[in-house]
Amino acid sequence: MSEATPLLEMRSISKRFDATQALDDVGLVLRAGEVHALLGENGAGKSTLIKIMTGIHPPDSGEILLDGKPVTLRSSADAQRVGIAAIYQEPMIFPDLNVAENIFIGHQNRGPIVNWGAMARDAERILGDLDIQLDVRTPARGLTLAAQQAVEVAKALSLQVRVLIMDEPTAALSAHEVAQLFKRVDKLKRQGVAILFISHRLDEVFQIADRVTVFRDGRHISTRPRAEVTPEGAIRDMVGRKMEDFFHRSERAFGDVLLRVDGLGRAGAFTGVSFEVKRGEVLGFAGLVGARRTDVGLALFGVAPADAGTITLAGQTVTIGSPQSAMSHGIAYVSEDRRQLGLSLPQSITANVTLATLKRYLSRLGLIKPVAEQATAAEFREKLSIRAASLEHPVGQLSGGNQQKVMLAKWLNLQPQVLILDEPTRGIDVGAKAEVHHIVDQLAQQGLAIILISSDLPEVLAMSDRVLVMREGRQVGIFEHGVATQEAVMTAAVGVA
């Protein structure tokens, strides 16, 4: 292979599923020792390309070249044999196996009799090469998400990986864990591995990528060296509009104080939190991992009730000891974990929209009134621009952005006064983020009091009228919109005088 020959090339790849053209004559070139970022909204074709690269789907047309020679990948085993592996946002870990067993689970060439000692030594060597400190005999069930991700990287190395696909690998990792992962990526680069990195986090892309490719609607839009790409340009390529259209925050007049919290606390979690939110106001919550912002939201919604302080709603002191109590007072909470805690993925859009308010749709005999349910779901589908073939479509088959809109619809159907949004744009593409921001802005204009908890600091600063900063379970400052800069908020969050 000459120096100019790509390690892997996807040439003129097209793929159609029924009426949907998932990929239309796209190309991608991966070089040894390079991190190549692939950007695009949900539905841009990224996942389809990965599945073709890993042998899950065959292309309808086009070819795959490895070391300049055509290859045919009929299965994931074929891809592994030529050194192509993928790790995903949710690690593919077997919880009842230990670390070493998970690393070597995909090896068909170790023979019918397992040499457990040799396997453990090989696992230790691979982890050592990656500077990963893990006991290889530890059951995977007890590993943190970051440790599981590390095992996935080690598994890829055990397969003598030449091309490593990383699909949203940092979505649920802390900043420290991301830094550790990036050190391992840098080590793989030095070993000559070609890395395809897919992420919605543009700051990470600009930190780690050597080149950047953008797909939109199944088509190749651009490929440039990182130095020639700006966040504004990348977003314009992804969504077809400018970055200034990304956030939606209107000037608006506030009403009276709707929610007041004084000295709120819960033993072992947080203490001394005090704030107020007016009708039509967005109060942002900022802080680093471990600041316990989500714990405040869970206390206000009664999932993990506070044991100190007072909550006043519309001038009346209230006690919130359960989610049912919070809902009865007009408080709704949109969880950061939509797949586990926010939605019933196998059920339809209609069933999810009415899930929190099901009693409204029961007849005197206790039977569900489907016509009323469907009318409500149809109304929210129109209001929030939920994209799906039908209202009976399973929520688990929707894109992340549309799942987020369904979860918003579920809680807006409660007709709340106070809306707590915990990481409302995590794991969704930039176009869907812009839509969620616009919805939040509209809700504030309608007079809702909104608490916005987000790890995305630009999002908090752009969308919030005031920003409350927490550090290690304590409130360390509240900043007005004009004063809340990234420097001021981060200084408070990290405790620098």
Same domain? For 420 and 468 the reply is yes
At residue 337, the pLDDT reads 80
In what order do the strands lie in the sheet containing 20-30?
20-30, 8-17, 61-66, 69-71
Q: Is residue 406 part of a domain?
A: yes
Instruction: Say how far apart CA 467 and CA 485 lie, in whole Å.
Output: 10
Q: Is residue 249 part of a domain?
A: no
Same domain? For 112 and 143 the reply is yes
This prediction has a pTM of: 0.62
> At what angle are helices 175-190 and 145-158 packed, to 10 degrees?
10
Same domain? For 287 and 217 the reply is no
Q: In the listed set 188, 214, 244, which residue is the last one of a domain according to the structure?
A: 244
Same domain? For 265 and 316 the reply is yes
The range of the structural domain enclosing residue 398 comes to: 257-494
Q: Is residue 1 part of a domain?
A: no
User: At 394, which CATH number?
Assistant: 3.40.50.300
Q: In the listed set 195, 223, 244, which residue is the last one of a domain according to the structure?
A: 244
Instruction: Say how far apart CA 332 and CA 314 lie, in whole Å.
Output: 15
Number of structural domains in the chain: 2
At residue 496, the pLDDT reads 55
Same domain? For 239 and 263 the reply is no
The DSSP letter of residue 339 is I
Number of Cβ atoms within 10 Å of the Cβ of 382: 9
Same domain? For 445 and 343 the reply is yes
Same domain? For 198 and 292 the reply is no
Q: Is residue 250 part of a domain?
A: no
The DSSP letter of residue 75 is S
Q: In the listed set 216, 244, 272, which residue is the last one of a domain according to the structure?
A: 244
* Cβ contact 421:452 at 8 Å: yes
Instruction: Say how far apart CA 77 and CA 74 lie, in whole Å.
Output: 8
Same domain? For 165 and 25 the reply is yes
Residue from 296, 353, 301, 307 nearest 324 by CA: 301
Q: Is residue 252 part of a domain?
A: no
At residue 1, the pLDDT reads 41
Q: Is residue 325 part of a domain?
A: yes
Same domain? For 303 and 235 the reply is no
Cα-trace Rg, the chain: 25
pLDDT in tens, the chain (497 residues): 444 689 999 999 999 887 678 899 999 999 999 999 999 876 788 989 999 999 999 999 999 999 999 999 999 889 989 999 888 877 788 888 999 998 888 665 555 677 888 888 988 988 887 778 889 998 988 788 778 888 888 888 887 889 999 988 887 677 777 888 888 889 889 989 999 999 878 888 999 999 999 998 899 999 999 999 988 888 788 877 555 555 667 888 899 999 999 999 999 999 999 999 999 999 999 987 778 999 999 999 999 999 999 999 999 999 999 999 999 999 999 998 877 778 898 999 999 999 988 888 888 888 888 899 999 999 999 989 898 889 999 998 888 888 989 999 999 999 999 999 999 887 777 777 888 898 999 999 999 999 999 988 888 988 999 999 998 899 999 999 888 888 888 888 877 54
Mark 403-422 as b/e (b = at least 16 C-beta within 10 Å). Answer: bbbbbbbbbbbbebbbbbbb
Q: Where are the beta strands (DSSP E) in 7-60?
A: 8-17, 20-30, 35-39
Residue 11, classed as helix, strand or coil, is strand
Q: Is residue 3 part of a domain?
A: no
* Cβ contact 29:9 at 8 Å: yes
At residue 329, the pLDDT reads 96
At residue 58, the pLDDT reads 94
Same domain? For 164 and 111 the reply is yes
Same domain? For 339 and 484 the reply is yes
At residue 281, the pLDDT reads 96
Same domain? For 297 and 177 the reply is no
Residue from 102, 93, 96, 100 nearest 137 by CA: 100
Q: Is residue 181 part of a domain?
A: yes
